[in-house]
């Protein structure tokens, strides 16, 4: 639903819906802003008309929105996403009598879940690291299990060997990630943990599991920690 063109001054509300990128303990939780919210929606309720919903539209693929022809008044803006990855949040927006552009910039909402992503690849030299020329393995099963062996989540890798769990929640229990070994043996894993906090234009500022800071985010992460395959899997 869009606002129709009307006579007189109107406002244009712009912004981008992004996730809040928290600091991790022991730091106090910060309000740094992170990646765009996919499948974001923006709604407006007119507080001068009994909090009536007057606008609901999706943002673009990067969370950007532009709402034109908004009559002057006070509105309650709601921010959410189609897949409920984010926690619905609200902002008060005032369009002045003379209209004009209300630029909200990046508007942060909290995520319900954590994310985990990675790549499964053909470790030709079996050193546990992805060296140049080692190809990703498609259709490889990746499981997240509880410590009793039951499966919490499962997915498969894409054509490049990449996988993504977009909805991980600890549920107050330890979880174990496994690469299904019915076809191949595991040779190790390199883990990098997001350290939270400020994000720059090139990506997330992260620290490795060894808490060694990266000088600059990179598309080819510095190896952090490798866990060799157990003896029974090396033959």
CATH of residue 67's domain is: 2.60.40.10
Tell me, what's the pLDDT at 154?
94
Strand partners for 64: 16
Tell me, what's the pLDDT at 185?
81
Residue 178 lies in a domain: no
Residue 43 lies in a domain: yes
Give the strands of the sheet with 40-46, arranged side by side.
52-58, 40-46, 73-81, 89-95
Residue 133 lies in a domain: no
Instruction: Please name the residue that has the structure tokens 């080692």.
Output: 134
Domain total for the chain? 1
Residue 217 lies in a domain: no
Task: For 23-51, give one letter per residue: b (16+ CB within 10 A) or e.
Answer: eeeeeeeeebbbebbbbbbbbbbbeeeee
Q: Say if pTM beats, i.e. exceeds, 0.75.
A: no
Please give the Cα distance from 153 to 171 (Å, whole number).
12
Please give the Cα distance from 111 to 148 (Å, whole number).
28
pLDDT, tens digit (0-9, with 9 covering 90-100), for 167-198? 888 777 888 888 877 888 888 777 776 666 67
Tell me, what's the pLDDT at 142?
94
Q: Which helix (H) or strand (E) holds 165?
A: strand 162-168
Please give the Cα distance from 202 to 224 (Å, whole number).
20
Residue 223 lies in a domain: no
Closest CA to 105 of 13, 192, 214, 194: 13
Q: Are 23 and 193 within 8 A, CB to CB?
A: no
Spell out the per-residue pLDDT of the chain, length 235, in tens: 567 777 789 999 999 999 887 776 666 666 778 889 999 999 999 998 888 899 999 999 999 999 999 999 999 999 999 998 999 999 999 999 999 999 999 999 998 888 888 899 998 988 777 889 999 999 999 999 998 889 999 999 999 999 999 888 877 788 888 887 788 888 877 777 666 667 654 454 444 333 333 333 333 444 444 444 444 333 3
Residue 18 lies in a domain: yes
Q: Are 44 and 55 within 8 A, CB to CB?
A: yes
Looking at residue 113, what DSSP letter applies? S
Tell me, what's the pLDDT at 2?
62
Residue 32 lies in a domain: yes
| Residue 23: domain span | 11-109
Residue 24 lies in a domain: yes
Closest CA to 11 of 104, 106, 91: 104
**Pairing between β-strand 73-81 and β-strand 89-95 as defined by DSSP bridges:** antiparallel
């Amino acid at each position: 639903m869009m606002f129709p063109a009307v006579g007189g001054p109107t406002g244009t509300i712009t912004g981008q819906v992004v996730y809040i990128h928290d600091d991790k303990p022991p730091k106090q939780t910060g309000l740094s802003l992170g990646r765009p919210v996919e499948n974001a929606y923006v709604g407006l309720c007119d507080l001068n008309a009994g909090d009536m919903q007057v606008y609901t539209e999706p943002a673009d693929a990067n969370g950007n929105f532009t709402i034109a022809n908004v009559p002057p008044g006070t509105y309650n803006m709601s921010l959410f996403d189609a897949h409920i990855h984010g926690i619905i949040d609200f902002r008060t927006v005032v369009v002045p009598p003379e209209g004009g552009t209300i630029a909200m910039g990046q508007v942060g909402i909290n995520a319900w879940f954590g994310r985990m992503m990675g790549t499964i690849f053909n470790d030709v030299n079996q050193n546990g690291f992805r060296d140049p020329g080692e190809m990703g393995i498609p259709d490889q099963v990746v499981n997240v299990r509880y410590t009793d062996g039951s499966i919490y989540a499962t997915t498969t890798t894409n054509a490049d060997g990449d996988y993504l769990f977009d909805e991980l929640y600890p549920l107050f229990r330890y979880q174990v990630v496994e690469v299904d070994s019915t076809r191949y043996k595991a040779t190790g894993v390199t883990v990098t943990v997001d350290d939270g906090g400020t994000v720059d234009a090139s990506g997330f500022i992260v620290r490795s599991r060894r808490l060694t800071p990266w000088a600059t985010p990179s598309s080819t992460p510095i190896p952090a920690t490798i866990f060799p395959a157990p003896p029974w899997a090396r033959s």
